[in-house]
Structure 1
Amino acid sequence: MKLHEKIAQHTAPRPFYTLEFFPPRTDQGFENLASRIARLAELNPLAISITWGAGGSTKDRSLELAGLTQMEYGVDTVLHLTCTNMEKGTVDHVLRAAKERGIETILALRGDPPRGEEDWTATDSRFSYAKDLVSYIRSTPEFASAFSIGVAAYPDGHTESASDVEAQIQHLKEKVDAGADFIVTQLFYDVDGFLQWIKEVRAAGITVPIIPGIMPIQTYSSFKRLIKLSGARVPQDLSAELDPISHDDQKVKDFGVNLTVEMIRRLNSEGNIQGFHICTLNLEKSVLRVLEGLQWTGAVQPPQNKLIADTPGAMVHPPTPKSEFVTTPTRATNSAKLGLVELPSIEEAGKGELNKAATWDDFPNGRFGDFKSPAYGDQGPWGGTQMTNEAFDQWGHPRSDSDLTSLFLAHLNSKVPRLPFYDGPVSAETSMILPHLERLNKRGWWTVGSQPTVDGAPSNDSVVGWGPSAGYVFQKGFVEFFCELRDVEDLERRVASQGGLVHLLAGNYQGEFKTNIPEGGRNAVTWGIFPGQEITQSTIIEPESFLNWKDDAYSIWTEWASFYRPGSEERKYLESVRDNRWLVSIVHHDYKDLEALWNFLFDEAQ
């Protein structure tokens, strides 16, 4: 059934809600997400929403997942669809595929803007903005009456024109006038600002349903990243409560649940909002706790409106290691032997106790998380990218290896605030190994990830500490970099002489892959020991996650090159780097010797 028709018919005593999911990066994650959605579907959301990757990058996965929820689980499904850099034939194919799967609702989005001034990129000029996609669907007889169409709104302003609220509301009205039936907003945390914004939207003559997008805070690092991506305002009192507990993931998650409950209650009571769009990040526990807190599932005890105290003996979830580069926040917590480990098997999602299936990947999983998690490789809001023209201006015009070496060194020394591979300055932890990283980059091995060795530092250490007090944290040194094939072959030979003390992962753009990690092996490279608790392991480096990250890394080279015109020296050079350089990850297992990794890398006599 079309979503706007379901909204009009909604008569339940409580507000309705929809749940948003993204297609996981791995087959195992996809299978586990399917079971997770099946469980959450039993709570009767009005619809389930499936996101669309930038430029159609998740087209097949998005269609597969949306078809599964619509046809097999019988839940009305909203398929997100972006139009930028997509041709008419692709749009037609997706809309037909959606119809074949019984999907009757589309969320029409613009998607990522063209790269730089890419007027030379082969795109269909009919699809530059979301309103163009709405107009196309409504004006095409094959699709005109087949779909309910939703569009996006930005209560805190779009990142490209956040200050011009009046113009943005006018753009929203143009989308509605083109034929949109409802509006879903970007995430926000300023309830007062949202209530004022919605008054202005209604005053502009926009009458279609508006569904606020709500994203429970899962971890402090993911919250900060998403705020930066979306441009959402953070009220001062929220920051004042959240910042002091930023080091404790469980307290942050508890805070996020309670905040979400409070926001929904206020929006319902003060703004008479009757529907909510919950962005899940493919995680289950927070959604359940929010719905229970609202008493929308028959639960008897809602969360208290305060931080939930630590449960004695509960597992502690540390923050993402403060390394030079982490693509996305990670939380994969398992008890395991240290070193190269085979993690305890995870019961198939959907079987066994519900709470166990809901919480085994309780925190967002980035590239250092468990690749079997549905949340592995979580995306930004609606598939957004972090590469912008402003950043491009800082990277100049690289045309040689020496140009890139200078750029990477400038970033290490805080002369360049960000790189295509890392959205921000280097962390405080990086200063512990800065001379080593500089030496690698001067060699022409451009580093994109690293972690110093730590042997039992106090958990309250200001640089490497995490978790509760009176604990100790450990790290194995690792580093990731781009280098040439001859370097990889030399490293392979030297690694083989270490008797398993050093592990290597290496891959290239063409899909070649090298490793000495045994099949099924995983490297636990960060862990903590706390009183009365099991060993807590937070960071995993394994072949499956490395291969997924490798694909991302080479797509970044492609995207970076696309800022420059075809045939330009910069584009040809960056594409040659992509085609010829290898991505390498090196882990040294001797965490008792703080210099072991670097002694290995710089020992030319080996």
Structure 2
Amino acid sequence: MKLTEAISRHVASTSTPYYTLEFFPPRTDSGFENLLARLSRLSVVNPVGLSITWGAGGSTKQRSLDLAEATQRENPVTILHLTCTNMERAMLDDALDSAKARGIRNILALRGDPPRGEEYWIPCDPQFQHASDLVKYIRNRHGDEFCIGVAAYPDGHSFDEDTELANLKTKVEAGAEFIITQLFYDADGFLIWLRKVREIGIEVPVLAGVMPIQSYASFLRMTKLCASRVPPSLIASLEPIRHDDEAVKDFGVDFATDMIRTITSTKHNGPIVQGVHFCTLNLEKSTWRILDKLGWIGTSTHVLEEGKNRLIQPDSNAPLSSSSLLITPQDAASAVAPKDSENSGTIANTTTTLPALPANQAATWDDFPNGRFGSADSAAFGVRDPYKNELGLTTAEVHRLWGQPETIDDLTALFLKHLRGHSPFSTTPWSPNPIAAETKLILPHLIELTLRGNWSVASQPAVDCARSDDEVFGWGPKDGFVFQKAFCEFFCESATLDRLREKATIVDTVKFFAGNAKGEMVTNMALGESNAVTWGVFPGKEVMQPTVIERAAFQAWAEEAFGIWSEWALFFPPASPTRQLLERVRDERWLVSICHHDFKNPDSLWDFLLET
């Protein structure tokens, strides 16, 4: 079914606003499988549609298509995101044909961010330089086969507001039938923007993009990436509870609920908002709670397949996992998409009681703490910057931040500058924020490692029982206690890895993974083994192990980490000394992730590494 048809049926049957849920394809097979169980649980809330994101340049093409096909079993209105940036026309044609073959009738047409600075970005096909070009192409090639939507930016994007509004109208005139907005946190500002949208003659449905605040760190990161306006009162409310993850999640639910009530209320003097688009980041608990508070559960008009049980039962034996891999202290301060015809099935408009989320199963995996990644088994594993290219920067910004290194010594100096915090802009492509407070406790060790040519990108000191509200180490609910093993991640030469491997054979308390750009991996961990390097105990809860380092997750992260070398290199002209250096380093170095089991001795890991 087309989204516009589902919306029309919903509006005709109930006065409750409609809503869609957005998901992205996880980077691991286990994460993908567990997302299907999560989709099954969320299907009972009856969203009017489910949307699936698309990686830049088609990087997630197959997984996005597979996930979109799977969501068709949960909701007959599936929206597949599709970007034209760095996409050949043949790939676009194949994606559209594959979507059609899978019964997908809704496309969110996006330009997408260029995979490198604008100066060196040349569209693969000059026919596709703007989202409106993609809309026109789909219309010309497929007619009315697809219901096409486009993005809008209430807080601004690349141009001034008048130009942005004009571009939006161009996309609608090209054939767009619905609009999904970028996330925002300023309800009043959104309503002013929406009034202007309607005043210029845009009448298609507008779904307001809402991303519940999951943690203080991720909130800061995502609002920075998306250039979202943040009311001072919101920051003021979050500041006192920023170290209490549970309190931040609760606040995020209440704030989103109040904001949605504001924008969907008939009391304001502007156009009524009838649709909300939840950016879930593959997390479920906050979205469930918001819908429950709003009283919207089960109010969407739903098309059911006759004679079929659409629910995939969650695995009751799923292992208790975690929500953060390789927690990066540098990021901790800000770390934060079948063949039913339109006439098939029957219409059901029922009210569903919200069931309890399963305890100690996949629904609980994404609670704490605030790391960049989830467990490889988590449905939320692998998300970093879902709406940006890998670095999210222009060429001018890259040159300003990291210069134009031409030698190994230049790179070492860059990593040292970051560690020593010469300025607020002392960052690296892997650590986009100044070092965290806990990193300063191990700074002499990291500096010494870097001076020896081992460039650290993540680390943490050993901690033996700190309070969960500790300003430096705390996470999770209040009145708890947290622990962590010393951990370090760095790029090194092959000779260094050889020495580390040899010494690790005689030190049982040291465990490591190492990988390179070719996808090769060496480790002293047996298949199925993993390292819990952060854990906590809290009143009324089981022991939580939210930071786990294991094989599948490390392999996925290593691929991304070496991809950042490639992305950085593309900000420089071909054959330039800087580009040649970055590509050579990418091809020759190894990424090592290592931890020491003895968390009682704060120097254990560093003694081992420096001796090696």
Give the TM-score normalised by the residue count of structure 1: 0.88
Measure how far apart 1:421 and its partner are. Answer: 0.9
Q: Counterparts of 1:95 and 1:328 in 2: how far apart (Å)?
A: 37
State whether residues 219 and 363 of structure 1, in contact with CA within 8 Å, keep that contact through their aligned partners in structure 2: no
Measure how far apart 1:354 and its partner are. Answer: 4.5
Measure how far apart 1:409 and its partner are. Answer: 0.7
- The more displaced of 450-459 and 352-361 is 352-361
Measure how far apart 1:457 and its partner are. Answer: 3.0
State whether residues 181 and 209 of structure 1, in contact with CA within 8 Å, keep that contact through their aligned partners in structure 2: yes
| 1:409 partnered with 2:405 | no
Report the equivalent of 1:149: 148
Report the equivalent of 1:427: 436
Measure how far apart 1:39 and its partner are. Answer: 2.5
Query: Are residues 459 and 263 of structure 1, via their aligned partners in 2, closer, same or farther at CA, if it must alter by over 3 Å?
Result: closer
Q: Counterparts of 1:201 and 1:91 in 2: how far apart (Å)?
A: 29
Measure how far apart 1:219 and its partner are. Answer: 1.5
Query: What code does the residue aligned with 1:423 have?
Result: P
State whether residues 326 and 449 of structure 1, in contact with CA within 8 Å, keep that contact through their aligned partners in structure 2: no
State whether residues 21 and 50 of structure 2, in contact with CA within 8 Å, keep that contact through their aligned partners in structure 1: yes
- 3-state SS of 1:253 partner: helix
Q: Counterparts of 1:297 and 1:358 in 2: how far apart (Å)?
A: 21
State whether residues 322 and 428 of structure 1, in contact with CA within 8 Å, keep that contact through their aligned partners in structure 2: no
- 3-state SS of 2:330 partner: coil
State whether residues 17 and 278 of structure 1, in contact with CA within 8 Å, keep that contact through their aligned partners in structure 2: yes
Report the equivalent of 1:359: 363
- 3-state SS of 1:527 partner: strand
Q: Counterparts of 2:61 and 2:470 in 1: how far apart (Å)?
A: 44
- 3-state SS of 1:149 partner: strand
Q: Deviations over 1:405-433 (max 9, x none)?
A: 01111111223432111121111211111
Measure how far apart 1:473 and its partner are. Answer: 2.5
Report the equivalent of 1:463: 472
Q: Counterparts of 1:126 and 1:362 in 2: how far apart (Å)?
A: 41
Report the equivalent of 2:607: 599
Q: Counterparts of 2:277 and 2:215 in 1: how far apart (Å)?
A: 20
State whether residues 138 and 179 of structure 1, in contact with CA within 8 Å, keep that contact through their aligned partners in structure 2: yes
- 3-state SS of 2:358 partner: helix
Measure how far apart 1:326 and its partner are. Answer: 6.4
Q: Deviations over 1:103-145 (max 9, x none)?
A: 11110111112522454756111111111111211222xx122
State whether residues 429 and 452 of structure 1, in contact with CA within 8 Å, keep that contact through their aligned partners in structure 2: yes
Q: Counterparts of 1:69 and 1:534 in 2: how far apart (Å)?
A: 33
- 3-state SS of 1:410 partner: helix
Query: What code does the residue aligned with 1:475 have?
Result: Q
Query: Are residues 297 and 114 of structure 1, via their aligned partners in 2, closer, same or farther at CA, if it must alter by over 3 Å?
Result: closer
Report the equivalent of 2:449: 440
Report the equivalent of 1:510: 518
Report the equivalent of 2:536: 528
Measure how far apart 1:595 and its partner are. Answer: 0.8
Report the equivalent of 1:489: 498
Measure how far apart 1:59 and its partner are. Answer: 0.7
Measure how far apart 1:319 and its partner are. Answer: 13
Q: Counterparts of 1:104 and 1:260 in 2: how far apart (Å)?
A: 30
Query: Are residues 177 and 232 of structure 1, via their aligned partners in 2, closer, same or farther at CA, if it must alter by over 3 Å?
Result: same
Report the equivalent of 2:242: 246
Report the equivalent of 2:379: 374
State whether residues 515 and 522 of structure 2, in contact with CA within 8 Å, keep that contact through their aligned partners in structure 1: yes
Measure how far apart 1:151 and its partner are. Answer: 0.5
- Match for 1:228 among 224, 228, 248? 224
Report the equivalent of 1:34: 36
Measure how far apart 1:397 and its partner are. Answer: 1.4
Report the equivalent of 1:282: 282
Query: What code does the residue aligned with 2:41 have?
Result: R
Number of corresponding residues: 561
Query: What code does the residue aligned with 1:235 have?
Result: P
Report the equivalent of 2:259: 263
State whether residues 176 and 206 of structure 1, in contact with CA within 8 Å, keep that contact through their aligned partners in structure 2: yes
Report the equivalent of 2:310: none
Report the equivalent of 1:22: 24
State whether residues 108 and 151 of structure 1, in contact with CA within 8 Å, keep that contact through their aligned partners in structure 2: yes
Q: Deviations over 1:150-188 (max 9, x none)?
A: 000010111x34xx2111111111111211111100011
State whether residues 116 and 389 of structure 2, in contact with CA within 8 Å, keep that contact through their aligned partners in structure 1: no
Q: Deviations over 1:222-246 (max 9, x none)?
A: 1111111111111122222222111
Measure how far apart 1:565 and its partner are. Answer: 1.5
Query: Are residues 238 and 320 of structure 1, via their aligned partners in 2, closer, same or farther at CA, if it must alter by over 3 Å?
Result: farther
Report the equivalent of 1:201: 197
Q: Deviations over 1:533-559 (max 9, x none)?
A: 443322111122111100000110111
Report the equivalent of 2:347: none
Q: Deviations over 1:373-407 (max 9, x none)?
A: 11112243445543312134321112211110011
- 3-state SS of 1:20 partner: strand
| 1:215 partnered with 2:211 | yes
Measure how far apart 1:329 and its partner are. Answer: 5.1
Query: What code does the residue aligned with 2:285 have?
Result: K
Report the equivalent of 1:308: none
Q: Counterparts of 2:139 and 2:83 in 1: how far apart (Å)?
A: 16
Measure how far apart 1:28 and its partner are. Answer: 0.8
- Match for 2:329 among 323, 327, 332? 323
Q: Deviations over 1:278-303 (max 9, x none)?
A: 1111112222211111112269xxxx
Measure how far apart 1:216 and its partner are. Answer: 1.2
Q: Counterparts of 1:179 and 1:112 in 2: how far apart (Å)?
A: 22
Query: What code does the residue aligned with 1:414 have?
Result: G
Measure how far apart 1:361 and its partner are. Answer: 1.6
Query: Are residues 55 and 353 of structure 1, via their aligned partners in 2, closer, same or farther at CA, if it must alter by over 3 Å?
Result: same
| 1:398 partnered with 2:405 | yes
Query: What code does the residue aligned with 1:388 have?
Result: L
- 3-state SS of 1:244 partner: helix
Query: Are residues 114 and 353 of structure 1, via their aligned partners in 2, closer, same or farther at CA, if it must alter by over 3 Å?
Result: closer
Measure how far apart 1:529 and its partner are. Answer: 3.4
Query: What code does the residue aligned with 1:360 have?
Result: T
Unaligned runs of 5+ in 2: 300-321, 337-354
RMSD (Å) for aligned C-alpha atoms: 2.5
Q: Counterparts of 1:552 and 1:328 in 2: how far apart (Å)?
A: 19
- Percent same amino acid at aligned positions? 52
State whether residues 506 and 513 of structure 1, in contact with CA within 8 Å, keep that contact through their aligned partners in structure 2: yes
- 3-state SS of 1:538 partner: strand
State whether residues 368 and 539 of structure 1, in contact with CA within 8 Å, keep that contact through their aligned partners in structure 2: no
Q: Counterparts of 1:27 and 1:524 in 2: how far apart (Å)?
A: 21
Report the equivalent of 1:339: none
Report the equivalent of 1:73: 74
Q: Counterparts of 1:528 and 1:354 in 2: how far apart (Å)?
A: 22
- 3-state SS of 1:433 partner: helix
Report the equivalent of 1:7: 7
Report the equivalent of 1:83: 84
